[in-house]
Chain A
Amino acid sequence: MASALRADNIVKRFGSVTALDGVSMHVEPGEILGILGDNGAGKSTLMKILTGYQSPTSGTLQVHGQDVVLRSVDHARSLGIECVYQDLALVGGLSVAHNMFLNREKLRRFPPGMLDNGEMRRRARQVLEDIGVNIPSVDLEVERLSGGQRQAIAVARAVSSDARILLLDEPLAAMGAREAALIIDLVLRLKARGNLSIIMIMHNYGQTLDIADRIMLMQRGTVTYEKAAAETSVPELMDIVRREYRAVRSA
């Protein structure tokens, strides 16, 4: 079976800076891939390329076995690739329902162009219920929610369309242990629903080994290590990073 998403030899340069230096990766249907790496390792750049937000300098992408050139975020979305950015891309002053349908609002047939707020509320409630997220009201403005609730809304928005590949950029950043546990539960529940592939950029090795099926370590724009989560351990990962750190210091 073809990989859900596959990238081959991706290079991305910004002027004289090489952010990605020949990255190849893949994620299988129903798999959770955890991407670890230092700040500046190129994780976020890779993410932006996989979502169509930026185009690579060179390299190729395949979605479900088909060669594609992602022209825009909308194009990637139309192929079932959804992303939750670290800043969540939520608008504080808009309601939960409006945020969940941001830029794919439901419209009434008459008068044409009028927002169908009732339909958006109904569907937002349905999606949140489906994935087991409990928010007091979809009319609440997002700025009134906690960090974990916002993350959940952003994830719900991403999966509310027919997402096949979900990218999560540091979903547990700046989150307490209890809120992080709720988001981990949510991700595992999404996985259990079947053929959704999830790529997560992570910082915490322990959390990543808990949740991911496979781990990929990025250093200075390349993939330096890749293994099934069950076959590696926090000490092993720490060891690789420590070696890298010493090499940089002695250089």
Chain B
Amino acid sequence: MSLKPTPVSRASPNRAGATLDAFLRWREASIIVVAILLTIYFQAVNENFLTSANLETVSQFIAASAIIACGEVMLLICGEIDLSVGQVFALAPFLMHFGTNAGLPIIVAILLALVACGLIGAINGFITVKLRVPSFVTTLGTLYILNGVTLTLSHGSPVETGGSEAMGNFLGASPYAEILWAFAAVAVMHYVLRQTRWGLHTIATGGNLIGAAEAGINVARIKIGNFVLTSVLGGLTGILEAHRIGSIDPLAGGTTVMFLAVAAGVIGGTPLAGGSGTIIGALVGAIVLGVLRDGFTLQGINAYTFDIIIGAAILLAMISNIHLGRLRRGGGR
């Protein structure tokens, strides 16, 4: 039997054309081009942009949303979302603080805090998967609950992080510590998504829920696992940010960092519909957001305008992803 493919291949005139062709079909290509063009533009209008002091600032802004985006992208791929991760971000360093206050070594306190974050993720997942509440609603509920819990536990006031200087530096206080954590998280999660069964099953769960179940994949486990992952990454990011700033703020993180992470994922090429997505794209999406914000700040554009720009960037990214995506799917290989 000969099942002919639908005619799809487009001839490339030459080698450069073929390379360009391959690049265009590369999922993350469009957003990488945008990141590079923005960097060139901001360096052209303000020569302070690519100085080490400024890169440090940009990298710190990027790191938090990039790490959380690693989790959100996995959730988006399997067809869910976590709105509460910003509140986990705020709660985790307080849990660590209570641990160290009780005399635990900081590493143990952090691990216990992250286990607690994982439990929160498991609850999000359980309510969503087993009790069949849409994750948007589940995590909207836990968002408020966690916010209240953090404010109650902290009495609404910030505390010092404490701990040794070396530990503080490792956990985010040294200039590039946080972005290194972000790169590590991106590398690990990119590997998990592209090279492991967990990643493949996450794509299958979001791409065809019933089909994945029929193939014997435990879709509940995949979804709950990704909720746990997102919460743990959110908690880790909160702890890193607390060490960078040197104080633990009950109002840190919140919906701002959560929406930035989701925006980074979406701008990077992960659709909300599930079934596909990219971790590297989310990192580049976070970079684009960071570059935009910092570049416009250096130009003296205020925070109000920045929201307008982020909104426009999300829409532009989605529109171009949908249409470039069609081009990619239309192409051969």
Contact = CB atoms under 8 A, between A and B. Distances in A.
Interface string B305-333: 00000000000000000000000010001
25 contacts: A73-B215, A77-B216, A89-B211, A89-B214, A89-B215, A93-B203, A94-B200, A94-B203, A102-B204, A103-B215, A107-B197, A114-B195, A114-B196, A115-B195, A115-B196, A132-B1, A134-B4, A140-B5, A144-B6, A144-B329, A146-B6, A152-B1, A152-B3, A182-B3, A185-B1
Binding site of A, secondary structure by majority: helix, strand, loop or mixed?
A: loop
A206 B317 CA distance: 52
A98 interface: yes
Residue among B5, B214, B275, B333 facing the most chain A CB atoms (10 A cut-off): B214
Contact of B211 (A87, A132, A134, A141): A87
Residue among B6, B8, B216, B275 facing the most chain A CB atoms (10 A cut-off): B216
Contact of A102 (B3, B4, B5, B217): B217
A186 interface: yes
A113 interface: yes
Which 8 residue pairs across A and B have the least CB separation, nearest first?
A89-B211, A91-B207, A89-B214, A103-B215, A93-B276, A91-B204, A102-B215, A136-B5
B2 interface: yes
Interface in B203-230: 203-204, 207-208, 210-212, 214-217
Interface of A: 53, 72-74, 77, 83, 85, 87-94, 98, 102-103, 105, 107, 113-115, 132-137, 139-141, 143-146, 148-149, 152, 182, 185-186
B212 A91 contact: yes
Contacts of B196: 113-115
Interface of B: 1-6, 8, 195-197, 200-201, 203-204, 207-208, 210-212, 214-217, 275-276, 329, 333
B265 to A, nearest CB: 16
B275 A93 contact: yes
B204 A94 contact: yes
Nearest to B211: A89
A170 to B, nearest CB: 14
A96 B76 CA distance: 23
B214 A53 contact: yes
A211 B277 CA distance: 42
Contacts of B217: 102-103
A89 B5 contact: no
Contact of B333 (A89, A92, A139): A139
A85 B329 CA distance: 25
B260 to A, nearest CB: 26
B211 A90 contact: yes
A87 B195 contact: no
B39 to A, nearest CB: 31
Given A88-B211, A134-B1, A186-B1, A115 B200 contact: yes
